[in-house]
Every structure is written in C-alpha cells, then in structure tokens.
A and B are shown apart, each in its own frame.
Chain A
C-alpha cells in the first residue's frame, strides 16, 4: 500500500498546469496520429521527441506517454470508418468495427471502442500501479520456448477465423506464411524470396499489405458494388443515438475486464506488443463469448476485446520499460531513448531515486486516459460526418489516403505499388471466397514464431526439452493441444449424439 501513497504524491505532480497541458497536447496529437493510416505511435513519438528537449523530464515523458496510448484510441477511428486500420493494433478492430459502421451504427462502434480503450487502459494503469515491478520480473520468465508456445497457441486459433469453408481459410494461412518468409532470414543472414529487389530485403512491409488488403480493396469494392454503399448515415443522426445503452454496456464490460487484464499481461512481455495483444484477445473472445458467432460480422464484443487489450498492452509496456529498462517495442525504445537523454536510468533504482518522476508519470496516465476519453467522445460528431459522405466522394479521397499512408512509412513508391497489387489480389481472393483475416494473422505471427523457435533450439542445442522445461511452457503446451483437439472431439461427440438421437428407443 506504500505504492498508493506514492501515487497520491504523484497526483500532486501530475495535476500542475504544465503537466496537464502536456497531457492534453499528447492526447490530441496521439488521436490524430493514430487515426491517420500509415503513421503509428512510433512516428508520432519520434516526431514529438525533439520538441520536448526544453521541457523538464516529467512534463516531457507525460507528453510522449500520452501520445503513445492515445494513439490506441485514434487507431480505431479509421479502422471503423474507412476499414483502414490506423496502425497495426487496430487491425482486429476493423473486422467488426467496419461492418458495424456499414450497417449504420458507426457511432455505436466508435463509442464501444472509446469506452473499451478507456477501461482497458485504466485496468492496465491499476495493474502497473499495484504490481509493476513484480509483473516485469514475471515477464522475464517467458523465454523463447514459452513465447514459441504462446504464439503457437495463438495460431491454433486461426482456425476460428477460417469461416465455413476451411479450404479457403487454409489457402489464406499458407499465403500469409509465404509472405512472412520474404526478406532477409535473421538466423542465416541470407535473403529469401526477395526477387532481386532491395525493397523486399526487409520483408513485405506490413502497412502497405494491410492498407492494400483492407483499405484499397474497400475502394475497389465501392467502385464495383456501388449500390451497396448508399449513404448509411440515415440510421443514426444524433450523438445521443450513438451512445452505448445499458444493455450494450453490460455485454462489453466483462469483455473489457478480461481482455484489459490479458492485454496488460501480454504488454508486459518484452517483444509482444499491442498488436499481438489485440490479436490474442480477439481470438480468445471469438472462442468463449456467448455472441461468438457474430464476432467478425459486426459484434461490439469484437471491438471491445481488441481495443481493451491494445490499450492494456500499451500501459503494460511501461512495466518492463520503467522497472528494467527493457523496451517492449519500437515506440517504447524511443521513450527509453528519451529517458536516457534526460539523464534518467530506468531500473529498480528509478523508483527509489526519482519517485516524483515515476509516480508523476503513472498518475498522469490516469488523468491522460480521462482526457483521451473526453476528447475522443467530443470528436464523435465530427467522425459521424465522415460516415455520411457519399461513396462517390469517398472513393478518390480514400484512394489518396491509402497512397499517403503507404508512402509515409518508408518514403517509397515501391510500397505504394505493392499496396495497389495487394488490393487487386485481395479483390481476386474475395471473388474466390478466400478471407483476408487468416492471411494477416499468419503474416504477423510467423516472424515472431520463427524467431522464437530458432532461439529456443539454439539454447537447447536442438533438444525439444525446452518446450516442456518450465511450468509456463507445460501449461501453454497443454492448452495448445487441447485447443487443437477440441474441434475434433466436439465433432465426434456431436455425431454420437445425433446417432443416439436417431436410434430407436
């Protein structure tokens, strides 16, 4: 409970005018940066960093940290309204958010994402407050063997996204595997499947792939099936209509609570960030939720799972950063650079030597989260206007947004060409009935899986014992096997039931 006392002192630091203004600026910039496709939190934090040189360290880190987690709020906006995820953690949000927006409930989708982000983020900060250092140390128990099994567990869940015809989903999974192996092989240092192009040496870039398969393919669909896109603003006109009703809040609250916690735990693990968290939470919810049949078709539970989790993970990433000096990903690496620039060394001593800084930052997260909630809700009426823009006007504008979003990643026209090719490929996949979601999931998870598998085998010198060596590994292995076998077992039991039902009494 000593932490609560420190937290109270931290609030006194956070509630000063410069720090409040800095949180507000970070929140607004983060929302914009998150909403614009192609610019993620890494670019936003990197852009804001030089502007913070003259600020005092606490004010500066508050601005940067607020930008980082408010980016998670903003990423959902373009995912829901345009089917172009603002950044990779918002990809799963698009799966339910966009269909919901297309059915005339964009306001409901937006308010679900905002409320879920708030609850997930708040849970993350609370967990960070109570057990940040402990959690960070626990996260270090996840070595390559455990992380391999975690990713394999996530991949077994791809089956749930296969749809009614497994062949189509498995073609997509295979394609995702193949796309993911393009580029320099990290273990061997040799290029694979780069077709002699310098641009493919780092692999197929993620943002052009996502924007092409989700955003540009949407434009193609708008041109081909124009009659489907008659203005959908007619269903919701007022701000009040877009608010969550009590029944809807009751549906998403349990989702937010469990996925917020799961997201935070995944965010604590170095190497697993908000993207992996949103994927795993979405898949988990698809398995266990009562409304699972509608998840993927426009269910608020899908949005709630992805958003609570990615905001929880953003908060969880601060645990290893502050307590151990280990950044969880690119953005936290930039934050680490900022800390060192201000002469602060992250680690257990940081809490002891600079309590004002650390607890000021953690307290500001509570305040910043509330600021993000208010600003995000205030921007819903503006967002609703976007939905009412007719498809005929949206087509060229979204096309241009796709080009800009793709180009800003690497300042490369190759990425833009790739985006266009992916969009056309996605169209042909669509007419063949092949879904894009398994391809995307496999594409994201495969590099992590390959990396961890190799590290694991290097450590164990080829022995499989590393995958059963710790309690965590054994639990994950058991879960993976259970989830692999459960559809087969359920199928057999259902057939037996049907047989018994048909047998004469």
Chain B
C-alpha cells in the first residue's frame, strides 16, 4: 500500500504532461498554460519512480496500512447522505451520537450530551449568527 501515493502521483504526472503540451508551453512572449504543469509532471514522474525504487529496496521509511483509515470518511459520507433527508444539523448530531455509541462504546447519557451539546454550539454559531445555508433535507429540517 506504500506504492499507492507514488502511483497516483505518477499517473497525475503523465496526465498533466499530456495536458500541459496541449495548452502550449510558450505563448506570445511568456510561459503558456502548459509550462508549469509540464514541470510539475516531470518532477513528479521522476521522483515518484525514484521513491518506488527506494521503497522496493527498503530504503524508505513509511508506515503500515490499516483499513480503519477509511472509517471516518465512510461515516462522513453516510452523514452527508443522511443530511439530504433530515438536514445537516440533525445528521451531524446523529453522526456524533452514533460514532460515540458504536465506535467508541461510550455510555448513552454521555453520547447524548456530547452530540446535543455540539449541535447546540453549531446552531448558535453557524445557523443563528453566521446564517450559513446548510442543506435542509427533504423533510425541511435544519
């Protein structure tokens, strides 16, 4: 899994170089739209290959991959989907409560207090004061 980021970088580099040439390297009297993309692409390709070789030889220190890394993102995506139904504030409160109960195994009272307390602060600052137009959801809730 240590190769994922260098491979992504390498693929980006290739795409950016191809795109960069199509935008033109030198236009009129100065650098064109493709000048910096090509430089970025070349830099990334050369050094991501170097990094992958070093990783293969065991010369690069990184860390081990853990599937738990996807949990926060997955949970947030569920929260955002839910917000389309019940509104952002309600879905945030449900998310915090559910995470504390299910993932962190916290007590019912503590989870309720934290989720409702956080929702209250968010409401006061962002909804009441700053009037940020968060999604309301199909049910018309906040």
Contacts and interface: CB of A to CB of B under 8 A. Distances in A.
A184 B98 CA distance: 41
Interface string A132-165: 0000000000000000000000000000000001
Contacts, number: 210
B43 A167 contact: no
Interface string B4-45: 111011001101100100010001111111001101111111
Contacts of A460: 29
B140 interface: no
Which of A36, A393, A403, A432 is packed against the most chain B CB atoms within 10 Å?
Answer: A432
Interface in A441-461: 446, 450, 453-454, 456-458, 460-461
A375 interface: no
A83 B115 CA distance: 22
B104 A165 contact: no
B62 A432 contact: yes
Interface in A65-82: none
B60 to A, nearest CB: 5
A190 B23 contact: yes
Contact of A431 (B62, B132, B133, B134): B62
Given A428-B1, A450-B36, A47 B130 contact: yes
Interface string B39-73: 11111111110110011000011111110111111
A171 interface: yes
Interface in A47-75: 47
Contacts of B120: none
A400 B123 CA distance: 13
Interface stretch (A119-127, A259-267, A317-325, A404-412): A404-412
Q: How large is the interface on B (under 10, 10 to 19, 20 to 34, 35 or more residues)?
A: 35 or more
Q: Is the interface of B mostly helix, strand, loop or mixed?
A: helix
Given A174-B40, A192-B37, A393 B48 contact: no
Given A177-B43, A178-B12, A424 B69 contact: yes
A411 B50 contact: no
Contact of A446 (B1, B36, B54): B36
Which of B43, B75, B106 is packed against the most chain A CB atoms within 10 Å?
Answer: B43
B112 interface: no
B137 interface: no
B33 to A, nearest CB: 4
Given A404-B126, A457-B30, A392 B104 contact: yes
Contacts of A176: 40
Contacts of A450: 31, 36
Given A404-B122, A407-B132, A180 B66 contact: no
A430 interface: yes
A12 B18 CA distance: 64
B99 A457 contact: no
Q: Is the interface of A mostly helix, strand, loop or mixed?
A: helix
B86 interface: no
A188 B33 contact: yes
A396 B100 contact: yes
A395 B98 CA distance: 12
A432 B16 contact: no
A224 B41 CA distance: 32
A227 B3 CA distance: 26
A138 to B, nearest CB: 27
A407 B134 contact: yes
Which of A47, A433, A460, A461 is packed against the most chain B CB atoms within 10 Å?
Answer: A433
Interface stretch (A215-223, A268-276, A330-338, A357-365): A215-223
Contacts of A462: 28-30
Interface in B81-131: 88, 92, 95-96, 99-100, 103-104, 106, 114, 118, 122, 125-126, 130
Contacts of B104: 392-393, 395
A420 B73 contact: yes
A413 B55 CA distance: 36
Contacts of B15: 193
A167 to B, nearest CB: 4
B76 A411 contact: no
A315 interface: no
A429 interface: yes
A432 B6 contact: yes
B68 A174 contact: no
Given A181-B37, A457-B30, 12 more contacts: A174-B13, A178-B12, A178-B16, A178-B44, A193-B15, A399-B75, A407-B88, A428-B5, A428-B8, A431-B1, A432-B4, A434-B9
Interface of B: 1-6, 8-9, 12-13, 15-16, 19, 23, 27-33, 36-37, 39-48, 50-51, 54-55, 60-66, 68-73, 75-77, 79-80, 88, 92, 95-96, 99-100, 103-104, 106, 114, 118, 122, 125-126, 130, 132-135
15 contacts: A171-B5, A174-B41, A175-B44, A395-B72, A396-B95, A396-B99, A397-B96, A400-B118, A407-B132, A416-B80, A420-B73, A431-B5, A434-B9, A450-B31, A453-B31
